[in-house]
Chains A and B, each alone.
Chain A
Amino acid sequence: MSKLKSRFSAGSRLKFAWLPVVASVAVLGLSEQVFTQAGQRTMWAPRLAGVTPGEIQVLPVQGNVHMLVGAGANITVQTGNDGVLMVDTGTAAMSPKVIAAMRSISGKPLRYIVNTTDRADHTGGNSAIADIGETIPFREANYTAGPQGALDIGRASIISYYTVMHRMSAPTGKAVAAPETGWPDNTYSIAQKRLYFNDEPVVIQHINANSDGNSVVLFRKSDVVSAGDMLDLTGYPIIDLAGGGTIETMVTGLNHLIDIVVPRANAAGGTMVVPGHGRIADHAEVVYYRDMVTIVRDRVQDLIKKGMTLEQVKAARPTRDWDGRYGKDTGDWTTSMFVEAVYQSLKKPA
């Protein structure tokens, strides 16, 4: 006790005279934290979560619809009590990850796959992914009746416009572009095919755009359109001249897409659009993209009228105001290839 007392003797109190001052400073410091409510400093510019290479990102779109990113082309997944409907399947290599991502949304059976185009980044997963699905039989299988009584219900049905099937397959004796197990088995050849699935109308429309086989899928209750490569927010449109696409069909196709995408008040929201590549979009993105494609067409047309050759047109850089946004110098589809496709579309044979 005496020792304790001696610790707080008059002399030692002088040593601790700074304590109130320290306490005051500490309280002031705390008061700042309390009143500013400042959290962690925002990183400038903030890092936005992209897709980790080799992984799939699952993003809700609207209603019953999700978008899977990271498997090549974007994949649209509609889910409900009837099962799962998938628009495009990504690359073959990513199929296991795509299946796992789909399962994270719904455990129901995969019933339908719709291919919006024949390109491998949209259809490469057909074979492996269709295999885990099952169709709903219209009758019980009767194996005692021989082959006619059997039903192949152990796969999801793959829907596409008929020309997609033609491009993925080949005449007998010719090399095929895709394995037979990935070919569409449910094609259509008229303006549209309709389903009623997961309590909403699903309208599959044929629109001739960057090829002659484009389909867009309208989920009418969710109010989502899966547009495939008609809308590529990561680059200039891939115009497949050999596959029946031209710059004119691209412009016409985008105008059709604008007609079925309805914005809410003040040109925002409303119908959501899943593009073939890039972020979730709405009416405005489709209109901006249409504007860009149309203006480039008009410029190239004007240069052709002036008698310019392809090389001269490329040198004139008719896309220069969008190159910073959509242009690419390397990869499968460069700015140069786009300009050439526009030129070839418009150049009348001599």
Chain B
Amino acid sequence: MHQRRFGVATWKQCLGIVLLVAGVHQPAFAQVDITGLWRPLPRNQDGSGMTGDAAGVPLTPGGQWRAQSWSPEDFDTAEWVCRPHAFDYSLEGPLSQMRVWADVDRPTQKVISYSAHLNQQEQETTIYMDGRPHPPENTLHTWSGFSTGEWDGDVLVVTTTHLKETYIRRSGLMRSDRSVVHTRWRRVGNYLQATSILYDPVNFTESYPRSSMTWIYDPALTESPYPCEEATETAVPRGDVAHFLPGQSPLPGLNPKLADRFGSPPEARLGGPETMYPEYIKKMKTMPRPSGPPAAGVGEGN
């Protein structure tokens, strides 16, 4: 009799534990609501902001050449006037408010996809959560690419393929159309964080992580339209392609006489995988530094 009472009690206690622990357990392992309106928070700038500075970016020698032939007039080329910041660049580049919403399958109440709309140049992405495969490799590439997501604990891990070539800094640092981007989204209370890791077999020697993107929940946020009409005439004659011939770039980041706001050695500003790591700081201390003050306009943004 005693044994029987003990058995029932054990079952009841265990049921209670299950309910209690499941309740606590769920947020740790379950999906988190990332939908809503998100206001970007100011953060550390990627790089010194000096135009032509590639420090900290694992550029290949080819990627460095590409950057060193870039001209600011590229943005005035008629065909590129409406080129948007790609979605992955927009997360890191301009401070852009973001709206995230979910598409839920009504019968099963499962999330089919999350979509996000950035105010800046109206870039939009859809993150498919239903396990669908990525499209064949010969299908169209877009500025946002094709994304699938899965939950790793409370972190939404997004894999993006089918990206168009674009800049990672608006001074000629490019990632190719063969890039794959891994983005980890995490909500912490009313904050949303994103860490993106770029893999580009063409222009990067190794993966390039960017981790300072944070937004705060702001239900009063509004977004604006961003219409862009293709430019017919610009300062750059139609058909011209603005660029600098090798060794002739006047960009301040490539001018060894000019200092950035950190007084970095000019060699470091060329970028490359070595410049990503803390060990490089020791090496930088042995390098010659510009003697002059920071050039006018440095730190204007990326």
Contacts and interface: CB of A to CB of B under 8 A. Distances in A.
Interface of A: 10, 13-14, 17, 20-21, 23-24, 27-28, 31-32, 35-42, 44-46, 48-51, 57, 59, 67, 69, 251, 255, 258, 262-263, 265-269, 272, 278-285, 287-288, 290-291, 294-295, 298-299, 302, 318, 320-325
Contacts of A278: 138
Given A27-B18, A45-B159, A280 B138 contact: yes
Contacts of B17: 24
Interface of B: 3-4, 7, 10-11, 13-15, 17-18, 21-22, 25-26, 29-31, 60-63, 65-66, 69, 77, 79-80, 82-84, 110-111, 121-123, 129-131, 133-143, 148, 150-151, 157, 159, 161, 164-165, 176-178, 180, 182, 199, 201-203, 226-228, 230, 238-239, 241, 243, 245-246
Given A28-B21, A39-B130, A325 B176 contact: yes
A282 B216 CA distance: 36
A290 to B, nearest CB: 7
Contacts of B135: 48-49
Contact of A265 (B15, B60, B122, B161): B122
A24 B121 CA distance: 51
Contacts of A282: 140
Contacts of B228: 265-267
B148 A42 contact: yes
A324 B246 contact: no
Given A283-B79, A295-B243, A13 B7 contact: yes
A327 to B, nearest CB: 9
Contacts of B150: 38-39, 41-42
Nearest to B166: A284
Contacts of B245: 298-299, 302
B111 A28 contact: no
A48 B25 contact: no
A299 B137 CA distance: 32
List of 7 A-B pairs having minimum Cβ-Cβ separation, nearest first: A39-B131, A35-B30, A321-B66, A20-B14, A48-B137, A294-B241, A321-B65
Q: Taking each of A46, A302, A318, A322, which has the highest tally of chain B beta carbons within 10 Å of its own beta carbon?
A: A46
B5 to A, nearest CB: 11
Contacts of A51: 138
B22 A28 contact: yes
A190 B288 CA distance: 63
B284 to A, nearest CB: 26
